[in-house]
Amino acid sequence: MEIRDAGADHIEGITAIYNDAVTRTTAIWNESTVDHANRAAWLSDRQKAGYPVLVAAGEAGEVLGYASFGDWRAFDGYHHTVEHSVYVRSDQQGKGIGRALMQVLIGRAQSIGKHVMVAGIEANNAGSIKLHEKLGFEHVGHLKEVGMKFGAWLDLAFMQLKLDARPSPDAVQTR
Ligand SMILES: CC(C)(COP(=O)(O)OP(=O)(O)OC[C@H]1O[C@@H](n2cnc3c(N)ncnc32)[C@H](O)[C@@H]1OP(=O)(O)O)[C@@H](O)C(=O)NCCC(=O)NCCS
C-alpha cells in the first residue's frame, strides 16, 4: 500500500468508496449518490485550491482509501483552518490505512502553513473518533440533533488538532 496524490485513474475508486458511505453509513450526511463527473470536479476544485487529495493505493493501483481537506469556512478569518475527510474501503478497514492517510494529510496541512484541522464526526462513529483520538485530536464540541439520516436525528462531534505552536498568525513557524 502506498499513499499518493490522487489522479484521474483514482476517480472511479474514490466514487465507489464515497457512494458506499452514502448508501450504508452515517459518515456522509447525504442520501444521494454521485457519479464519476461529480468526483472529478471535486478533485479538480481541491487541486486548484492547492489542497491535497490523497489515496491509499494497493499493488495494482486500486483505491483502498482516500483523504482530503478543504477550507473549514469561507471567510478570510478562517484561512488557517481546514476541515478534512477520510474514508477507507469497507473491506480494508482496521489495517492501519486510515491512520497512514491521516498522517500524510496532517503533514501536508502543516507544510502549507495551516494551523488547525477540524473533524466533524457523527457522534456514534466510534471508529472515526478512536482514530482521531489516537492522532492527538481533542474533543471540542458536540452539537445535538443537527443532522438526520435513515429516519433518525444525528449528533455532530467536533474534534480538532493544532498543527503548529505559532503564537500568532504572522509569527514565523519554528517547526
Ligand atoms: C474511520 C476510518 C477512516 C478509520 O480507518 P481505518 O483504516 O479503519 O483505521 P486504522 O486501522 O488506521 O486505525 C487507526 C486507529 O484507530 C483505531 N480504530 C479504528 N477503527 C476502530 C474501531 N472501529 N473501533 C475502535 N478503534 C478503532 C485503531 O485501533 C487504530 O489504533 P492503533 O493505530 O493505535 O492500532 C474507517 O474505518 C472508515 O473509513 N470508516 C467509514 C467512513 C468514516 O467513518 N469516515 C470518517 C468520517 S468522519
Q: pLDDT tens digit string along 85-108?
A: 999 999 999 999 999 999 999 999
Sign of CA dihedral 88, 4, 76, 41: negative
If pLDDT is split at 50, 70 and 90, which confidence band does 171 have? Answer: confident
In the reported structure, the alpha carbon of residue 50 is separated from the centroid of ligand 1 by a whole-number distance in angstroms of 27
Q: Is residue 81 part of a domain?
A: yes
Q: Is residue 132 part of a domain?
A: yes
Contact 135, 161 (CB under 8 A): yes
Q: Is residue 100 part of a domain?
A: yes
Q: Global pTM?
A: 0.96
Q: Is residue 146 part of a domain?
A: yes
In the reported structure, the alpha carbon of residue 165 is separated from the centroid of ligand 1 by a whole-number distance in angstroms of 27
Q: For residue 173, is pLDDT > 70?
A: no
In the reported structure, the alpha carbon of residue 125 is separated from the centroid of ligand 1 by a whole-number distance in angstroms of 10
Number of domains in the chain: 1
For ligand 1, atom 15, name the residue with the nearest CA: 131
For ligand 1, atom 10, name the residue with the nearest CA: 96
What value does the mean pLDDT of the chain take?
Answer: 96
Assigned C-alpha cell, 69: 481537506
Q: d(Cα 96, Cα 104) in Å, to the nearest integer?
A: 13
Q: pLDDT tens digit string along 102-154?
A: 999 999 999 999 999 999 999 999 999 999 999 999 999 999 999 999 999 99
Q: Is residue 154 part of a domain?
A: yes
* Residue 143: domain span: 2-162
What CATH number is attached to the domain comprising 8? 3.40.630.30
